[in-house]
Amino acid sequence: MVISSRLVTDTLSIQFPLSVMALFLHFTCPLKNGIHARPASVIEEFTHNLTSTITLYNNRTGTQANARSVLDMVAADVRFADACVIEVSGADEVGDKDRLQQFIGNELPSSDESVAAPITAQDQVLPRMLRNLEFTHFWGTVVVPGLARGKLVQWGVLGVSPTIPLHGERPGIDEVALVQTGLERLAAEYDDRLKHSHTALETALLKAQRAVARDPAIPSRVRQEMKTHGYTAAGAICATEQFISQQLLATGNPLLAERALDVRDVCLSLLKILYGESAITTAAALTEDSLVVAETLTPGQLLGMDRSYLKGLILTHAGTTSHTVILARSFGIPTLVQVKGIGAISPVTAILDGELGLLVTGFNDTVNRYYAMEWSRREQYNARIAGLATKPCTSAGGRVFEIAATLGTAAEGTAAFDGGAAGIGLFRTEMIFMGRAAAPTEDEQYEEYSKVVTAAQGKPVIIRTLDIGGDKPLEYLQLLAEENPFLGCRAIRLYGKLEMLFRTQIRALLRASCLGNLKIMIPMVCTTAEAQWVRQIITEEQGKLSAEGIATHPCVPVGAMIETPAAAFAIKGLSKYFDFFSIGTNDLLQYFMATDRANASVAHLYNLSEPGFLRLLQQLINEAHKHQRWIGMCGEMAGQIQYLPLLMAMGLDEVSVPCSVVPQIRDRASACDMQACEALLASALACDSANEVCSLLQAANTQLPQPILAPAQVILDVSLSNKTEVLKQLCDTLFIHGRTVQPRAVEEALWQRESTYSTAFAGGFAIPHCKSDAVTTNTLMVLRLKEPVSWTSDASEPVRVVILLAMRESDSAHAHMKVFAKLARKLMHDEFREYLTTESNPNLLCDFLRETLDLTA
Ligand code: PEP
Ligand code: MG
């Protein structure tokens, strides 16, 4: 067994050369997370079709690995910057060495997936209500945020039912052949599932598992287990799973430990193939809302769970880069990993708090009340922003500003429109072409485009033609490796070479155009010559389709992405050929700043706040409008909420953002004050550095002036138990009504003031107050309690009417003090106090306070 011998012998000297004729290739591992399962499966896939014997050596550890075995390569523990050697020997070793050299230079560096940084438990502090309280909880690391409640369900370990023998000979059964056949069927099943995979993520996961399924290390270990321990196929598979997993876990490298999951998944599937689903004993069926607790969980196990009951995941030993975590993130299932000290689980109802990083299993009244308030806060906020989904998003100046969604797969379309997207601003079609052995046919493409156009029900759908090349190779196109792929043959520059491919896509798009409001968008356009050529191809294909009697929309709008400075300065000429434009800031910034968008060592220069870049955007938007062209933005900048005021002020017609942020961006856009946005933009454009722009954005308040007090800020006759709950309720209400996005920061600011002096007044009144830029709109709020609560530790009068004053730190201190002083004076008067204590109509109470305190601003 390859893995065991390499890991336990721990030899540091590599025996070169293994073959006299062999060729060697030296490289340094470019992958931040080293060669773990995903990159290893990419290498395996590449070497699978080469004829040479290929061995990978890790100079740091002295280990070597068969480059056709994912497990072997993973066990070689190649880490970032490790010096490595590849030995190639065989009849075609010269050709294979060249191929490998190109692969290592061009494809290996982009073979891993970046994973969002986790929120660590150390950053978390319990909120006031839960502080200094006895309740059973466990800290973990949040990898998918959210709040979930359900019964704890412990996920089991791999095993087979007692009816399946683990030892002994079974007459007439060749156990070795049985396993071999099973593995072949399994690899074929993965091939089949890959053909139907919808997303790049699913494809990558399936490929990684297929690589494990066809890894020679598995049958080799199975044979050894049978020979040494007299196992049947079932026994040997379980033993193999345990053995390889233990070896991987024993390395102490979390990335390798996670790979044990892929091995488990493959062994599990193999057992199912050989003995049927019912013979396997791991899976507890979910029958009610559940939080699944597992030491580890395979992606296959996650995919096999009933997701209508799966509310949260607690993975005691999974790392943040495991495939399972990546899948959970894409399904939006709140997940904690590295939960410490959880021990044996009983099936109790628990709460997974993916904001604080807590698993709560012990409850008392206070904890229950805290989470009841948390649910209520989320529900009320979601209800308010969901209500905005049907309203047109019109800026204060009366100009329509559309918030559209960006899609990677057709399947996301429905969710985008449910979230209030005004259209699809960018549908990246690369996914349809990736993870397959050949390009999709015209009909296959037509199906995909039709799904989105139909779901849009007349709303605009901008579909971008294939943006391949650069950092996105397609194996079956056999593109030549380039020194500078980002400056080479990518996107439109490839269409001339792959004309049939481009024409096929155009035909599929034109056919789908008669189903709704489809627009075609061309990536990486730089010159009018390119524009002219593209238009000619489209016209020709339209002509051919009509000659064939196939319906298309008579006039499908065609647009260009503005992703290069060349295009940004050619708007006048491009306007002759294109009906609309959309700014691809991801590329535009990289070409403007001469900074590779994926290179961490120059990331400090890849800064959207560079004033020069902002000036470029403004100039090109103006130019597009001067030539009567609609212009949107579909790069990542569009979805970053801090830039929204600037983009609105620049006069963009649309932003296209990830589906999940459509509601929040709509909410923020509808609250933007255009005058304030324009003033902010003018200041930003005049800045000399990105830092200056960042400080401006942080301090700016561009929300539409809202009244300091509105009826929604008058909450009458609620039941709360104490001052802590009252302060939380006030801050939650600020959050629900878009007056803060950081309710806990406002709460802390209030408590700081309370710790200096009590804000209680005679007659059962209190005026908690703070100055904090966590507040986005100066607010006065009234909360009247059913039962008074004590406000100070002494025996002073309990408080029944609470008046919150939450002001922005950067606003004049006088505003705060003026209102406070007036209030304090009024509270001396019996009639004033009497009115606040008895009026039952929030509108009247609101009017009364506005008038009495002169709250006109
Ligand atoms: C862009 O460059 O901003 C863009 C949207 O295209 P991609 O990120 O797909 O290159
Ligand atoms: Mg781009």
- Quote the pLDDT of residue 10: 30
Positive or negative, the CA dihedral 96, 98, 99, 103 is: positive
* Residue carrying the six token digits 């298309």: 552
- Quote the pLDDT of residue 18: 43
* Residue carrying the six token digits 């800026």: 395
Atom of ligand 1 nearest to the CA of 588: 2
- Quote the pLDDT of residue 147: 93
Spatial separation of the C-alpha atoms in residues 649 and 618, rounded to whole Å: 9
- Quote the pLDDT of residue 312: 95
- Quote the pLDDT of residue 12: 32
Spatial separation of the C-alpha atoms in residues 91 and 75, rounded to whole Å: 28
DSSP output for 476-492: GG-PPP-SSGGGSS-TH
Average pLDDT over residues 241-256: 69
Q: Which of 343-352, 503-512, 726-735 has the lowest mean pLDDT?
A: 343-352
Centre of ligand 1 to C-alpha 303, Å, is: 30
- Quote the pLDDT of residue 253: 61
pLDDT band of 368, cuts 50, 70, 90: very high
Atom of ligand 1 nearest to the CA of 585: 3
Average pLDDT over residues 508-527: 97
> Between 25 and 661, where is the model more confident?
25
- Phi, psi of 14, rounded to the nearest 5 degrees: -95, 135
pLDDT of residue 36 exceeding 80 = no
Centre of ligand 1 to C-alpha 36, Å, is: 28
> Between 703 and 24, where is the model more confident?
24
Judge if the upstream peptide bond of residue 171 is cis by omega within 30 degrees of 0: no
First-to-last C-alpha distance (Å) of the chain? 78
Centre of ligand 1 to C-alpha 263, Å, is: 36
Mutate to test the pocket of ligand 1, among 465, 561, 583, 655 (most ligand atoms within 8 A of CB): 561
Produce one character per residue of 599-623: b if its CB has 16 or more CB atoms within 10 Å, e if not: eeeeeeebbbbbbebbebbbebbeb
Query: pLDDT of 152-170, one tens digit each?
Result: 987 765 666 767 778 887 7
Ligand nearest to C-alpha 429: 1
pLDDT of residue 118 exceeding 50 = no
Tokens of 532: 């002219």
Query: pLDDT of 217-231, one tens digit each?
Result: 888 888 888 888 888
With CA atoms as reference, report the closest residue to 743 among 755, 753, 734.
734
- Quote the pLDDT of residue 330: 54
- Quote the pLDDT of residue 16: 43
Centre of ligand 1 to C-alpha 651, Å, is: 21
Q: How far is CA 516 from CA 506, 552, 561, 657, in A?
A: 16, 10, 22, 21
Task: Give ligand 1 pocket residues (Cβ under 6 A).
Answer: 426, 428, 467, 563, 584-587, 634-635
Query: How many separate helices (H) and strands (E) can be counted in the chain?
Result: 31, 26
> Between 412 and 175, where is the model more confident?
175
- Quote the pLDDT of residue 61: 84
Spatial separation of the C-alpha atoms in residues 514 and 121, rounded to whole Å: 53
For ligand 1, atom 1, the nearest C-alpha belongs to 584
pLDDT of residue 816 exceeding 70 = no
For ligand 1, atom 3, the nearest C-alpha belongs to 584
- Quote the pLDDT of residue 120: 40
Spatial separation of the C-alpha atoms in residues 482 and 789, rounded to whole Å: 72
Model's pTM, two decimal places? 0.60
Mutate to test the pocket of ligand 1, among 490, 586, 643 (most ligand atoms within 8 A of CB): 586
Number of Cβ atoms within 10 Å of the Cβ of 289: 15
Q: Which of 313-327, 377-391, 830-844 has the lowest mean pLDDT?
A: 313-327
pLDDT band of 282, cuts 50, 70, 90: low
> Any residues with CB less than 8 A from the CB of 94 and at least 6 apart, and which?
23
Centre of ligand 1 to C-alpha 607, Å, is: 15
Average pLDDT over residues 336-363: 84
Atom of ligand 1 nearest to the CA of 430: 9
pLDDT band of 705, cuts 50, 70, 90: confident
- Quote the pLDDT of residue 521: 98
- Quote the pLDDT of residue 258: 62
Residue 235 and residue 251 in contact, taking contact as beta carbons nearer than 8 Å: no
Number of Cβ atoms within 10 Å of the Cβ of 529: 9
- Quote the pLDDT of residue 422: 93
> Between 292 and 76, where is the model more confident?
292
Query: pLDDT of 462-512, one tens digit each?
Result: 999 999 876 666 768 877 778 788 899 999 999 999 999 999 999 999 999
Tokens of 521: 């968008």
Alpha helix ranges (H) inside 24-134: 37-48, 70-75, 93-106
- Quote the pLDDT of residue 6: 32
Atom of ligand 1 nearest to the CA of 406: 5
Query: pLDDT of 306-316, one tens digit each?
Result: 878 999 999 87
Average pLDDT over residues 80-92: 90
For ligand 1, atom 7, the nearest C-alpha belongs to 586
Atom of ligand 1 nearest to the CA of 637: 3
For ligand 1, atom 4, the nearest C-alpha belongs to 584
- Quote the pLDDT of residue 367: 96
pLDDT of residue 819 exceeding 90 = no
- Quote the pLDDT of residue 238: 84
pLDDT of residue 437 exceeding 90 = no
> Any residues with CB less than 8 A from the CB of 614 and at least 6 apart, and which?
646, 681, 684, 685, 693
Average pLDDT over residues 378-393: 78
Average pLDDT over residues 353-368: 93
Query: pLDDT of 182-213, one tens digit each?
Result: 988 998 888 888 888 766 767 777 787 788 78
- Quote the pLDDT of residue 393: 64
pLDDT band of 4, cuts 50, 70, 90: very low
Ligand nearest to C-alpha 427: 1
Average pLDDT over residues 649-673: 88
Mutate to test the pocket of ligand 1, among 467, 493, 655, 656 (most ligand atoms within 8 A of CB): 467
pLDDT of residue 117 exceeding 90 = no
- Quote the pLDDT of residue 539: 97
Query: pLDDT of 392-402, one tens digit each?
Result: 666 656 678 99
Spatial separation of the C-alpha atoms in residues 466 and 497, rounded to whole Å: 13
Residue 413 and residue 431 in contact, taking contact as beta carbons nearer than 8 Å: no
Centre of ligand 2 to C-alpha 524, Å, is: 7
- Quote the pLDDT of residue 837: 94
Ligand nearest to C-alpha 582: 1
Atom of ligand 1 nearest to the CA of 587: 2
pLDDT band of 631, cuts 50, 70, 90: very high
Average pLDDT over residues 247-261: 64
Catalytically active residues are 36, 323, 634, 769
Centre of ligand 1 to C-alpha 585, Å, is: 7
Query: pLDDT of 414-433, one tens digit each?
Result: 888 888 899 999 998 887 88
pLDDT of residue 317 exceeding 90 = no
Atom of ligand 1 nearest to the CA of 563: 2
Ligand nearest to C-alpha 608: 1
Tokens of 701: 């308040």
Centre of ligand 2 to C-alpha 635, Å, is: 7
pLDDT of residue 49 exceeding 90 = no
DSSP output for 30-59: --TT-S-HHHHHHHHHHHHT--SEEEEEET
Centre of ligand 2 to C-alpha 836, Å, is: 58
- Quote the pLDDT of residue 326: 60
Residue type, 421: A
> Any residues with CB less than 8 A from the CB of 21 and at least 6 apart, and which?
89, 93
Centre of ligand 1 to C-alpha 707, Å, is: 40
Query: pLDDT of 786-809, one tens digit each?
Result: 999 999 877 678 999 999 999 988
Tell me how many degrees the CA angle 641-567-507 measures, rounded to the nearest 5. Answer: 90
Atom of ligand 1 nearest to the CA of 470: 10
Beta strands in 514-668 (DSSP E): 517-522, 558-562, 580-583, 630-633, 654-658
- Quote the pLDDT of residue 612: 98
Query: pLDDT of 590-611, one tens digit each?
Result: 999 999 876 667 878 989 999 9
For the chain, what is the mean pLDDT? 85
DSSP letter at 472? Answer: B
Query: pLDDT of 822-853, one tens digit each?
Result: 888 898 899 999 999 999 999 999 999 999 99
Give SS3 for 559: strand
Centre of ligand 1 to C-alpha 449, Å, is: 19
